[in-house]
Amino acid sequence: MIGHEVTTQTSTRKRFRVQDFARSKAEGRKLTMLTAYDGLTAKIFDEAGVDILLVGDSVADNLLGYENTLPVTLDEMVVAARSVCRATKYAMVVADLPFGSYEASPQAAFDSAARMMKQSGAQAVKIEGGDRIAAHVRLLTQSGIPVVGHLGLTPQSEHMLGGKRVQARDDAAAEQLAQDALALQEAGACAVVLEMVPEHVAARVTEILTIPTIGIGAGTEVDGQVLVWTDMAGMTSWSPRFAKQFGQVGQALSDATHAYIDEVRSGTFPAPEHTFTT
């Protein structure tokens, strides 16, 4: 299996590395990616066997209380990525470069990416855009910084896109998406995230690329899937249409909190077994 070996008693994993992207596509093995923003959850996901942990700028509206991803800073992203890296042994850690930290020029992208890699320990960065940032991607990859691209719904451009809407819905837009994906591949990207695009469009892009596609709201005909972990685990009462809640962690946490409050107020916690005596 990609990125690890299996013994008869226990699984002995190896770190998922950039070469495993191409190998997984060639072998037809689906990639698994989840967001992670802190060491506590990163350790759980890593030990469960997720291939890639994405320190997404979605930390902004999922953890930090911002309205969307735009306000999060590179400083905040570095702190989040550092905590994830400290807790991760096997998964590749990919960190988003936030809005405003890379768009201006290839040099700006390099400066931000180099800082992210040096200060957090992330093994790759993710940036949004296609042909318009191909020069940025080329400089990063030629400088030894692996890059994951991001096309389709690019949240950092949501105001230009008119909100969180499905992208590449007509033939011209679908063709542009394909050309953008090819431009990223030519520039050296190791994978491309496709967000909220029609399944047949994602399937075509997946077919024409030699690097893997990782879908989020892009159907099944991609090389892997990514979800925001709070959506995946049922941490909120609402999740996007494309997301599935694989657990009800939010409800379990609420139930535990209610039980704690009840026992403290009733005097049943702490019980004798939780109390020190001389």
Task: Tell me the two tokens of residue 246.
Answer: 């694989």
DSSP string, 135-164: HHHHHHHHTT--EEEEEES-GGGHHHHTSS
Q: List, in sequence order, every beta strand (DSSP E) within 59-187.
A: 92-96, 124-128, 147-152
Annotated catalytic residue 195: yes
Q: How many CB atoms lie within 10 A of CB 235?
A: 19
- Of the candidates 5, 186, 195, 207, the residue annotated as catalytic is 195
Q: How many CB atoms lie within 10 A of CB 204?
A: 19
Task: Tell me the two tokens of residue 7.
Answer: 């013994």
Length of the chain in terms of residues written: 278
Pair 24, 206: CB distance under 8 Å: no
User: What b-and-e string marks burial along 4-18, b requiring 16 or more CB atoms within 10 Å of the CB?
Assistant: eeeeeeeeebeebee
Distance of CA 244 to the CA centre of its chain: 16
Task: Tell me the two tokens of residue 244.
Answer: 């599935």
Instruction: Return d(Cα 128, Cα 117) in angstroms, integer.
Output: 18
Instruction: Return d(Cα 137, Cα 258) in angstroms, integer.
Output: 49
Q: What positions carry a catalytic annotation?
A: 195
